[in-house]
Amino acid sequence: MAKALREPKDTSAQAIARLREAGLRPTRQRVELAGVLFQSGDRHVTAESLHDEVAQTGVKVSLATVYNTLHQFTEAGLLRQVIVDAARSYFDTNTGDHQHFFVEKEGLLIDIPGESIAVAGVPAPPAGLSVDRVDVVVRVRRN
């Protein structure tokens, strides 16, 4: 009776709680997606990769819903959108302060902890503008 295995019920319960806190109605699809996204540690997904992944668990969620959900989760602060590729959008379950390595050829994102990296010397933005956030993308390639 120590820490329970990650049974479906358990995972769902956590997902439902998370959704409720975020003010999102816990529908079957959202619970399922939240389960996949937040079960393991930090993850980076695209709409399509998530759609495929969920499909493989046997649950049916339309691509439109995946897109809707990804955006809702982002608005709710559960996800963060990462723009590194002109071709597709990535979503990151790590919403804290951090940056990324990006392997373009493979579409692979790797977190860089926020504490380790520092950007100095950012000039004050032109009048009338204020800084929203600073994104650093370290583009890397296979040797």
Chain contacts with DNA (rule: CB under 7 A) = 24-30, 46-48, 60-65, 67-69, 71, 86-89
Residue 68 interface partner, choices a copy of itself, DNA, none, CB cut-off 5-8 Å depending on type: DNA
| CA–CA gap between residue 89 and residue 79 (Å, rounded) | 12
Nearer to a copy of itself, 1 or 118 (CB): 118
Question: What whole-number distance in Å separates Cα of residue 23 and Cα of residue 69?
Answer: 13
Residue 131 interacts with, from a copy of itself, DNA, none (CB under 5-8 Å by kind): a copy of itself
Partner whose footprint covers residue 76, from a copy of itself, DNA, none (CB < 5 to 8 Å by kind) = none
Nearer to DNA among residue 27 and residue 57 (C-beta):
27
Alpha carbons within 13 A on the beta-carbon side of 72: 19
Angstrom distance (rounded) from CA 60 to CA 82? 26
* R_g (Cα) of the chain, nearest Å: 17
- Shortest gap between Cβ of 47 and a copy of itself (angstroms)? 11
